[in-house]
Structure 1
Amino acid sequence: MGGTEDRNTRGTRAVHAALPEPLRDAVDEFARYLASVRNRSAHTVRAYVADLVSLLDHAHRMGCAEVAELSLDTVRSWLAKQRTMGAARTSLARRAAAARTFSAWAHRGGLLPTDVAATLASPRPQRTLPTVLRADQAALLVEAPTRGATISARPAADAHPADAQPAGTNPADAQPADAHPGADAGSAMEMADGAEAGDRVAEAVLLRDRALLELLYGTGVRVSEACGIDLADVDHGRRVVRVWGKGGRERSVPYGLPAQRALDEWLRRGRSVLAVPDSRDALLLGARGGRLNPTTARRIVAAYAQAAGLPRISPHGLRHSAATHLLEGGADLRAVQELLGHSSLASTQVYTHVSVDRLRTAYRQAHPRA
C-alpha cells in the first residue's frame, strides 16, 4: 500500500511539473490555503491536490492555459473521463467536492470570473452499513491481550531491538570464537539480563495493546486521534480524554472503568519500560519508544481480532461498534454525534440503520408472526 501511495505521489508531482506556470502556481496556492486557512489534514490536502492536478491536466489538454479559462463543461468532462476509467462513486464524489472547493476559492481570489463549479452535482455514493461487532465480541477483543491471545506476526514496525536475533541462531552459540573461557559466567548473566529485559518489554507491549483497545472501543475515537493523545490530555479524575479531530476541532470524550484500569496499568507498569527521550508526552508508545503509529495500531487491532477468532475488524470498525452499542443502549443521537466528533448529524445517522437492521433480525428470529 505504501508503495502504491509513493507511486501516486510521484505521478502527481510529475504531472504538476508539466503544467503551465499559472496552473502550477494555482495548485500551490490552493494547497497552502487548505493547510493554513482551512486547517485540513495532510492526508486531505494530498488528496485534494492530486484531484486538482488531475483536473487542471485535463483542462490543459483541452487547451486551457490559465485558471480563468476553466469551465463547468471542462469539469464535467473530467469527471466523465474518471468514470469511464473505473473510478468508484465515492472517489467521484470526493473529486467533485475538490473541484467545487477549488472553484469557489479561485473565484474569491479573482482567478475565476465566476464560480464555475458551484452547480456541479456529486454522484451519490453507495452507502454500505459499517461492520460492527456484537457487545460480547467487542469485550472479547479488548480483553484479548490479558486472555493470553498471542499475535503470531507482530509488525516489524512494532518490534523492539531487544527482540531482534538472527534466525536459526542459538543464544548459547552467540559467544565469539576467541572469547576467553573465563567469560562464560559473565555471558550467561548478560543473556539472563537480556531475557529479563525482553520479558519486560513484552509485558509492556501487552499492557499498551490493552490500553489501546480499551481506548478505541471505550471512547469511539478515530485511530489517528487515539495515537495523538498526550499524557496531559487524560483527565483521570473525571475519566475524560481530550482529542483533536478533523479540522483541528477539539472535543472531550468520557471513558469507562475498564479503560481507566487499562490506562492506569499501562502508565504504572508499561510506559516507563518503552519510553525513550523521543517519547516526549505521547500517551501510547511504539515498542521503540516513539509515538504509536496509526498504521501499527490498525495491525494490532486486526491481529488480536484474528487471534481471538473474531470477524475481521479495524479501529474504525471498533468506532462503528461503540456508536452502535451506544444507540442500542438508549443514547441520544445528538450525544453520539458529539462523542464521535461528527460535524454533520447525517454522518451519525448511519448507525441508526445498523440498529434498526439488528432489531429487524431479532424480530424475525423471535416473533411468532414475523
Structure 2
Amino acid sequence: MDTLITFFEEQAPWVQSLVGLAALIAASLAVNYVLKHVILRVLAPYLDRSTKTIDKSAAWAATVAPLMVISQGIRLVPHLPEAIYTVITNVAQALIVISVAMAIVKALAYGNELYERLPRSKNRPIKGFVQVVKIIVLCGAAIIMISVLIDQSPLLLLSGLGAITAVLLLVFKDTILSLVASVQLTSNDMLRVGDWIEMPSMQADGDVIDISLHTVKVQNFDKTITTIPTHRLVSDAYRNWRGMSESGGRRIKRSIVLDQNSIRFLSDEEVVDLKKFRILKPYLAAKRDEIAAYLKWHPRIGEGFTLLVRQLDPGPQGLPIQIYCFADTTAWGEYEDIQADIFDHLLAIVPEFGLTVFQEPSGRDFAALGSSR
C-alpha cells in the first residue's frame, strides 16, 4: 500500500487529478449500484406492488447518496483549481436538492394513491391539495437550488421576490383561482368523481372522471372528454344530477297537447245511450277506474314523490296536459321504458273520451285535403 501511495505521489499533478476523479466517479457509481440494485431489490417484496410510484420515490431518494459522495469527496482529489472544487460541489448539492424534492413529490403522489383506495375519497378528493403541496415543494427546491448554484443565501432570493410579486400573481393567476375553487368544491361537497353534471357553457354533459387542481375531466355520454378549468365550476352555472341519483327516482315531466275543439261535456243523452248497452257497463266502469288510478298503481312510479296531472296554459297548439311524477329508478334505459309505457297508454286512451291530440298538419294532411277537393 505504501508503495502504491508513493507511486501515485510521484506522478504528474494532472495524472493525480485524473486518477482521483476516476476513483471518485467509481465510488459514486458503486454506491448508486449497491443502493438501487441490491438494497432496493431486497426491499422490493416489502413495498407496494400495486403501483410504481413508491419505487420512483425510493429511487430518487437513493440518488442522494452518490451525489453526496461526489459533493464531499471532491476535496480529496488533488491539484484541482479552487473554482473546479466550487463548481462541482455546488452542482452536486443542487442535484441533491432536486433529488430530495422529486422523492417528496413522488411520495405525495403515492400518498394520494393510497387515499384514493379509501371509500371516502370519492366524496372528499385531495388530489388538488396534493398538487398544491407539490408546487410549493418544487418552488422551494428551485429557490434553494439557485441559491446553491450562485453560492448565496436563499434569504437573498426571497427578499427579491417582493419586487416581482405582481408578476408571480399574474403568472400563477389560474393556479390561485383553481386552488380557491378546489377548496370551495371540496369543503362544500359541490362535486365528486362519478357525478353526472351538465354545463352547457363548456359543452359538458356526462360523468366526472377526474378532479385535479387546474382541471376537471368530464366523460360525455358520446364518450368524448371535456376538460373544464376548476375555477369555472365556481364562477359558472352547472347542473349536478347527484341528488337525483341518490334519491333513487328520476322525474318524468312531459305533456300531451289536446285539441281544444275536441273538449266538451258528455250530454245526458250520450250517458243514457251508453248505459243501454249492458255489455259496455263493466267495460266503462273498469276503464273509468283504470284511468283514474293509472299513475297511482303503476308498478314503476316511485312512492313518496310528487305525483301530479295538471293543465298548463292553453296555447295556439291546444291544451297541454302535463304528467309530473317520478320513476322508481335512475337507470337511463329503464327510465325511458317507463316514460314510454306511460305515454303509450295515455295516447292510446285519449280517443276513448272523444278527444284528439293536437298535431301540426304535415305534407300528407295537405295532400289528403287536396285529394278530397
TM bucket normalised to smaller: under 0.3
Q: TM-score, normalised by structure 2?
A: 0.22
Q: TM-score, normalised by structure 1?
A: 0.22
Structure with greater Cα Rg = 2
